[in-house]
Amino acid sequence: MKFIHTADLHLDSPFLGLQDAPDELWQSIQQSTFTSFERIVNEAIKFKVDFVCITGDIFDRDQRSITAENFFVQQCTRLQEEKIDVFLSYGNHDYQSVTSDTQILPSNVHVFGNQVETKQLTLADDTTVAITGFSYANRWIENDQTDSYPIKGNVNWQIGMLHGSLTGLKNPHDNYAPFTVQELLAKNYDYWALGHIHKRQIVHENPVIAYCGNSQGRHRNEAGPKGYYLVTEKNQQLVPQFHETAPIDWQTMVIELSQVDSAAELVSNLEREIETKLDSTRQTLVSLRLKNSEVLSSELMAQINNGSILVRLQTAIKTTGTIMFWPYEAKIKTSIKQPSFISLDQHYWDEAAQSVFTSQTVTNFAEKLFRHSFIEDRFSQPQELIDLQEKVALSLQTNQNQEEQLDEDSTNSD
């Protein structure tokens, strides 16, 4: 038996903040989620897999675009022509009420309903396979769904599909069908095809419980190879092997600045450093973190801070022909000075920071204000929380300095 485990395709993801990229690169970025899935379909056909499992978030939004929907239908139709079945569940991004009246997908696509259910198939060699899963009817599912998954039945292989969050992770998303490893192991399944967490990881090895990650990174915290797992039968076990399909990569580069006399020299140095450090054969979106900025003049520092150096760097790159990398931000890497509290206040600041700057707290607060999923996605990333904490600390330090200056001015006037 052989099948593909993929999830979190996020077709038609908006890739906010990259609209200034050259047209050719921007088109590649916009099409990257589509390109990655098309490559997955190509390889499903190439490897002659028995079926494909897609565990949630096929689309980026519950109100999916016609373009994304038509593309997905076309790709599933290609699989149908090769007699490859598709088993899919909808996740927290593309949640919907699943009814037969709403499905426009070809007959080889089997959609799990909003309650846990099991679908069975018999392969050409008479191998019997059962696949169990469910689709989100709402954006949040706070309850553990594993009780509804049956124990392995009288089949050769049983696969569980679950779009959810492993309870006990450093930043758990407890609003998303939380579960434990022990609960999954108790079902005696041969493979658990997980979705929702965008970082590829093997949670348990035998039997395999695995997140395949998303198929295309969508921001700087989703860097590195992205693709799918090809799962094959080996020694009476189901073993996943990662295959990369994403056309776009993300990298954060730390560059040590050296003394220069002009903006042109600085831009030339930055371009050369990026080319030297670039570690990818794919088109790469680069976030620059600039160290040793004290060697620069105040004028060059100002040009970095107001974005003009980044614009000049981007302009220089546009003239190189085929664009293999694109710096989308350039920031001075500094150590934010923490507010100088008295010892008692410092204790309360540390305690508050530990409890406030978590993905769940920030998400819950943002959710009440905006009700948009992209806010939650952004602040579920550790680096975003660090950036937010630094900005708050800087703001507190600024306010403290202003208050101290007012006190000093008041004392001097007295």
- Lateral strand order in the sheet of 237-244: 109-111, 85-89, 51-55, 2-6, 227-234, 237-244
Kindly indicate the confidence band of residue 379, based on its pLDDT and cuts at 50, 70 and 90: low
> Which parts of 278-381 fold into alpha helices (H)?
298-305, 308-318, 343-356, 359-370, 373-379
- CA pair distance 181, 184, nearest whole angstrom: 5
State whether 252 and 228 are in the same domain. Answer: no
State whether 353 and 316 are in the same domain. Answer: no
State whether 49 and 125 are in the same domain. Answer: yes
State whether 233 and 313 are in the same domain. Answer: no
> Count of domains in the chain?
3
In a domain, residue 150? The reply is: yes
State whether 281 and 172 are in the same domain. Answer: no
Range among 129-143, 170-184, 326-340 rated most confident: 129-143
Q: DSSP per residue over 159-190, as a string?
A: EEEEE--BTT-SS--TTB--B-HHHHHTTT-S
Pick from 151, 60, 163, 65: which is nearest to 112 by CA? 163
Q: Provide the pLDDT for residue 6.
A: 98
Mean pLDDT for 200-216 is: 96
Tokens 């540390």 correspond to: 350
In a domain, residue 411? The reply is: no
- pLDDT of residue 169 exceeding 50: no
**pLDDT tens for each residue of 359-378:** 556 655 655 554 455 555 55
State whether 325 and 381 are in the same domain. Answer: no
Give the residue numbers spanning the domain of 400: 343-404
Chain-centre distance of CA 315, in angstroms?
29
Residue at which a domain ends, from 271, 304, 332: 332
State whether 79 and 102 are in the same domain. Answer: yes
Residue at which a domain ends, from 286, 313, 332: 332
In a domain, residue 413? The reply is: no
In a domain, residue 412? The reply is: no
In a domain, residue 34? The reply is: yes
Mean pLDDT for 21-25 is: 89
Q: Provide the pLDDT for residue 347.
A: 61
Mean pLDDT of the chain: 85
- pLDDT of residue 192 exceeding 50: yes
State whether 255 and 382 are in the same domain. Answer: no
Q: Quick one: what percent of the chain has pLDDT higher than 90?
A: 64
- pLDDT of residue 384 exceeding 70: no
SS3 71: helix
**pLDDT tens for each residue of 300-333:** 999 999 999 999 999 999 988 788 899 999 998 8
State whether 309 and 347 are in the same domain. Answer: no
State whether 212 and 186 are in the same domain. Answer: yes
Q: Provide the pLDDT for residue 411.
A: 47
The pair of three-digit structure tokens given for residue 95, joined into one six-digit string = 């949640």
In a domain, residue 337? The reply is: no
Q: Provide the pLDDT for residue 290.
A: 93
Range among 8-22, 134-148, 168-182, 393-407 rated most confident: 134-148
CATH (domain of 8): 3.60.21.10
Burial track 154-188 (b if 16+ CB lie within 10 A, e otherwise): ebbbbbbbbbbbbeeeeeebebbbbbeeeebeebe
Q: Quick one: what percent of the chain has pLDDT higher than 70?
A: 78
Q: Provide the pLDDT for residue 376.
A: 55
Q: What is the dihedral of CA 223, 225, 228, 232, to 10 degrees?
A: -140
The pair of three-digit structure tokens given for residue 223, joined into one six-digit string = 């860097």
Q: Provide the pLDDT for residue 134.
A: 97
Q: Provide the pLDDT for residue 390.
A: 56
Residue at which a domain ends, from 212, 228, 244: 244
**pLDDT tens for each residue of 230-278:** 999 999 999 999 999 999 999 999 999 999 999 999 999 999 999 999 8
Q: Provide the pLDDT for residue 171.
A: 44
Mean pLDDT for 214-221 is: 92
SS3 259: coil
State whether 280 and 292 are in the same domain. Answer: yes
State whether 274 and 229 are in the same domain. Answer: no
Range among 55-64, 204-213, 336-345, 364-373 rated most confident: 204-213
